[in-house]
Amino acid sequence: MTNVTVVAAGNGGAAIAAWLSLKGCKVKIYDKFESQLAEIKKTGGILLRGHYLSGFAPITKATTNIEEALEDSELIMVVTPAFAHAEIARLCAPYLIHDQIVVLNPGRTGGAIEFNKTVKEINPEASFTVAEAQSLIFACRITGPAEVTIYEVKRKMAVAAMPASETQRVVSKLNPYFPQFTAAKNVLETSLANIGAIFHPAPTILNIARIEAKKTFEYYREGISPCVAEVLEELDKERLELAKRIGINIPDAKSWLQDVYGIPIAPSESLYEAIQKQKAYRGILAPKDPFARYITEDVPMSLVPLSELSKAFDVKTPVMDSIICIANALHKCDYRSIGRNLKTLGLEGKTKEQIIDLVS
């Protein structure tokens, strides 16, 4: 029986907490907001629905106190937007002293690097391993008070620890409950495989007036027109060039679609055609908020770190940089300075070799 803490009690956090509890773990749940925890406290657990696993999942403790939440915990599952990771690292830093494993679900790009650096700055004696999952393992939603429904469970999920020498230990810890987790080469692989960097900011920006007018349209099938898909292909080329320079293997966007959704895509087919074929994308509506997470999270936490890593590896990323620049103008902010840049990742001034050493 593993002692687990789940941070925080949103859709994904509630689902992971309930799943692990029903799989036999002793689960505590932390959230910043008391209101998120009230119903769980009242009922003493979470009702899990869905055809993969269901039942009432007891939760040992639901608390807004991080010290209480982490006490005796071996595994900390962080399930929050990526822009919360640094703050969570700061909160957890004093209590990571027993070689705990922290898994970011997901890390987006540079999540584990940022978490590791943030904790060590605050607590140089900290004893822990942080890992990042490629994506969130479930498609799920909170469907009632202290109730969550899991619609889909992904069949395969890459994870990597920081440093990579710890990845096997993390996989072994997760596999009894999630056999889908497999080891990636290192956190640069999970970070670069973040397909959200390609699929989220650019289509949102290239449909921004329509989104701001709260028009209803399908995000993938209508929002990614042939011209928009050309931009995504250019973004993807930049990402693949960085991967090549680092020496890691990641699938391009079309191969990723084929791997994840199982529909064969011919080499002659364009990314536009490949996206149009995906049944999984039918009916997925575009956000109705121009400040949607597809920009506010994926620009600073996905595109910015890809662009910044590219600087360190001498790869030119004019299209990524342009999307970041337009996002800054649209939102009147500076996503590069508030996002995961070389400085906040602790990589400023490091050579390519030093960066690869750091994650190995």
Among all residues, which ones are annotated catalytic? Answer: 200, 298
The answer to the question of residue 325 lying near a second copy (CB under 8 A) is yes
Q: In what order do the strands lie in the sheet with 55-58?
A: 55-58, 45-49, 147-153, 138-144
For residue 293, state whether it binds a second copy (rule: CB under 8 A): no
Told to check if 338 binds a second copy by CB under 8 A, we report no
Residue 218: both structure tokens together: 């399908």
Query: Does 231 interact with a second copy (rule: CB under 8 A)?
Result: yes
Fill in the DSSP letter of residue 303: I
SS3 content of the chain, % helix, strand, coil (to 5): 45, 15, 35
Task: Tell me the C-alpha distance between 181 and 75, whole Å.
Answer: 15
Given the complex with a second copy, which of 214 and 244 has the nearer CB atom? 214
Nearer to a second copy, 39 or 269 (CB): 269
Does 326 engage in binding with a second copy (CB under 8 A)? Answer: yes
Q: Is 96:127 a contact under the CB 8 Å cutoff?
A: yes
For a second copy, the binding residue among 2, 54, 225, 276 (CB under 8 A) is 225
Is 226 a binding residue for a second copy by CB under 8 A? The answer is yes
Tell me which residue has tokens 């690097």.
Answer: 113
Looking at residues 194 to 213 of the shown chain, list those that interact with a second copy (rule: CB under 8 A).
203, 205-210, 212-213
Of 51, 279, 282, 332, which one interacts with a second copy (CB under 8 A)? 332
DSSP string, 68-114: HHHTT-SEEEE-S-GGGHHHHHHHHGGG--S-EEEEES---SSHHHH
CB of 300 to a second copy, least distance (A): 17
> How far from the centroid of its chain's Cα atoms is residue 229's Cα?
23
Binds a second copy by CB under 8 A, chosen from 52, 99, 329, 357: 329
Could you give the C-alpha distances from 19 to 139, 153, 299, in angstroms and in order? 13, 11, 31
Measured in degrees and rounded to the nearest 5, phi and psi for residue 10 equal -80, -165
What whole-number distance in Å separates Cα of residue 299 and Cα of residue 306?
10
Query: CB 64 → a second copy: shortest distance, Å?
Result: 35
Does position 290 interact with a second copy (CB under 8 A)? The reply is yes
Of 129-137, 166-174, 304-312, 318-326, which part binds a second copy (CB under 8 A)? 318-326
Least Å from the CB of residue 37 to a second copy: 35
Contact 311, 345 (CB under 8 A): no
Contact segment (CB under 8 A) with a second copy among 8-16, 79-87, 189-197, 321-329 equals: 321-329
To the nearest whole angstrom, how small is the minimum distance from the Cβ of residue 233 to a second copy?
8
Based on CB atoms, which residue is closest to a second copy, 128 or 220?
A: 220
Which residues of the shown chain bind a second copy in the complex (CB under 8 A)?
Answer: 203, 205-210, 212-213, 222-228, 230-231, 234, 290, 318-319, 321-323, 325-326, 329-332
